[in-house]
Structure 1
Amino acid sequence: MNSEQKPDNHHIFDPEEITQPAKRGAWKWMLPLSIVLAIVVFAAWHFGWHAKAVTTGVVIFATISHVFAWVVAMIGLVPIIGPLIVKVLSIGVIWLLNAVGYLVSYVAIKRGYSKDVLTYRAVTIALITGIVIGYILCSLIS
């Protein structure tokens, strides 16, 4: 093996990469981006732009640039009411993922992949059960 070649034992999740400390100073980028997105939303409302197009653009940009996660984290830092708001926001995401799962299951069953759908549904039920157990344990511990 040449000294330039790397061994082929790398994994998808590199332990050194996962355990990197949080980046300090992210607010220097996230705050201006959040303000720009808020200005775009206000301008769309004020000038009567097409709401669905603006909403789609803002959500896609906020998700890709991690502004959405940063804003939700900032809301979660507000004592008492912040975590409640974050829970309400995340419940909608879980409902949406479940609805998409049902649609994919319907299409897959129609195309003859019923055995794969059963496996997929078993994994989904296990995941949701794990989330519920984790939530209950977290509520009991804290």
Structure 2
Amino acid sequence: MALKSWKVMLPLLALLIGLVWLGFRFNVDDRVIVGGAVLFGLLSSLFAWMVGVLGLIPFVGPLIVKVLAIPIIWLLNALGYLVSFIAIKRGYSKDVLTYRGLTIALIVGIIIGFILGHLI
């Protein structure tokens, strides 16, 4: 049974909302609630499903998905530069070239996938 089925994802979304509400109701630490929600959403592919459902809204949905997708690319690139800066300061310049190449390949792959996803 695929996790992309709405019969599975909708109850998972309700469960996530209920758990977050219970966490706030019983005064659980905010970081624990957010960490648990992010972990639950990533492991269950709930966030990807929610973005897919959001993309189904005519005219506005694809624009919102594009706006959500662009900052991820910027964040990946900024994180790569930050890690490179720290690694160069510590003397790992040869390894930095390898990992920056991998980061750029990942970003290019994401962009190509994004473009192909819109063309298909």
TM interval, shorter chain, is 0.7 to 0.9
For 1:81, the equivalent position in structure 2 comes to 60
Q: TM-score, with normalisation over the residues of structure 1?
A: 0.64
CA distance in 2, matches of 1:81, 1:33: 25
Structure whose CA Rg is larger? 1
AA aligned opposite 1:116: D
Q: How far is the alpha carbon of 1:31 from its aligned partner?
A: 0.7
Give TM-score, length-normalised by structure 2.
0.73
Distance 1:138 1:31 in 2: 24
2:43 equivalent in structure 1:
64
- Describe the shift of the 1:133–1:35 C-alpha distance in structure 2 as closer, same or farther (beyond 3 A): closer
| Distance in 2 of aligned mates of 1:61 and 1:38 | 11
Structure 1 residues 72 and 132: CA distance shift in structure 2, 3 A? closer
Q: 1:42 to 1:81 in 2, by over 3 A?
A: farther
Give the aligned partner of residue 72 of structure 2: 93
Tell me, in whole angstroms, the C-alpha distance in 2 between the residues paired with 1:50 and 1:120: 36
Q: Deviations over 1:34-54 (max 9, x none)?
A: 111122233444555422221
User: Among 51, 71, 78, which residue is 2:30 paired with?
Assistant: 51
SS at match of 2:58: coil
- Paired residues, number: 120
Q: CA 1:25 to 1:99, structure 2 compared with 1: closer, same or farther past 3 Å?
A: closer
> Larger relative CO (CA 8 A, sep 6+): 1 or 2?
2
How much is the aligned-residue C-alpha RMSD, in angstroms?
3.1
Kindly, what percent of the aligned residue pairs are identical?
A: 54
Residue 97 (structure 2) pairs with residue 118 (structure 1): yes
Q: State how far apart, in whole Å, the 2-side matches of 1:80 and 1:54 are.
A: 34
Are the counterparts in 1 of residues 4 and 49 from structure 2 also a CA contact under 8 Å? Answer: no
